[in-house]
Amino acid sequence: MAWCANRGDPISREGIYAGERRNHMRAREVYLSLDAYRSAMERLYRLTYQAPLRRRVLTYVLGATGRRISEALGLTTRDLDFERRAITWRILKKRRADYFVTLPMSPRVEDVLRRYIVLNGVSDRLFPVTLRQGQYDVKRTLNEVGLYGWRVHDLRHAFILEALLNTRSIELVRRWTQHTSYKELLEYARIVGMEVDRPLVPW
């Protein structure tokens, strides 16, 4: 028997497995829409660079980094190192409350964040909104760029699938996403057609 972190209610093992199955099914659906994700990210970059609104910047950061929305909402200007082109993220799903990981930021993410901070006078929290407001903002922006019906977490699905297609490395993606086990990533790998169920060498 597991426990719900938010309410303290017991969750059956069957309920956990059902949630995992729904998650995997949704990831397969997102995989079939990766071209739409790529087009949307290109369009969103142009829109965000021209007018770095909070909701657009938040959505772009999620789509370009694969982080959870709660992790993005916790970002402050102190977490950004533009000299080293790196962002330090607090990973909330680890058992330790003070678990952080520093990851590189792409040139596009750097461009978007620099303009957003300067033009909006941001001095501390990058996205000072509640989780509910952040989710609303992201969904509105997803509709704006043509990703109708997408959920906030679908951006993480899309990022992981795209990263696996680009790197062909489960370990590299695991280190980036900070998954605690390989189980879920192996399911993503199967979705993109990576051969992980046979020996890598003939001897």
Is there a domain that residue 198 lies in? no
Residue 196 within a domain: no
User: Is 202 a member of any domain?
Assistant: no
| 168 torsion bin: left (phi>0), alpha (psi -120 to 50), beta (else) | left
**For the domain that residue 145 is a member of, what is the CATH number?**
1.10.443.10
Contact 93, 180 (CB under 8 A): yes
Burial (Cβ within 10 Å: 0-12, 13-18, ≥19) of residue 59: buried
- 142 falls within a domain: yes
pLDDT at 2 over 50: no
Domain membership flag for residue 148: yes
The region of weakest confidence among 3-7, 97-101, 104-108, 194-198 is 3-7
User: Residue 198 pLDDT more than 80?
Assistant: no
Residue 13 lies in a domain: no
Q: What percentage of the chain carries pLDDT values higher than 90?
A: 73
Does 144 score more than 70 pLDDT? Answer: yes
Asked if residue 8 has pLDDT above 90, the reply is no
The per-residue pLDDT for range 18-45, each reduced to its tens digit, is 656 777 889 999 999 999 999 999 999 9
- Domains contained in the chain, number: 1
Place of tokens 């657009």: 56
Q: What is the mean pLDDT of residues 102-112?
A: 97
Helix axes 154-167, 183-191, angle to 10 degrees: 70
> Distance between CA 103 and CA 108 in Å, rounded?
15
Neighbours of 13 (CB within 10 A): 9
pLDDT given at position 94:
60
Q: Is residue 56 part of a domain?
A: yes
Q: Which domain holds residue 156?
A: 37-191
In a domain, 19, yes or no: no
Mean per-residue pLDDT for 126-149? 98
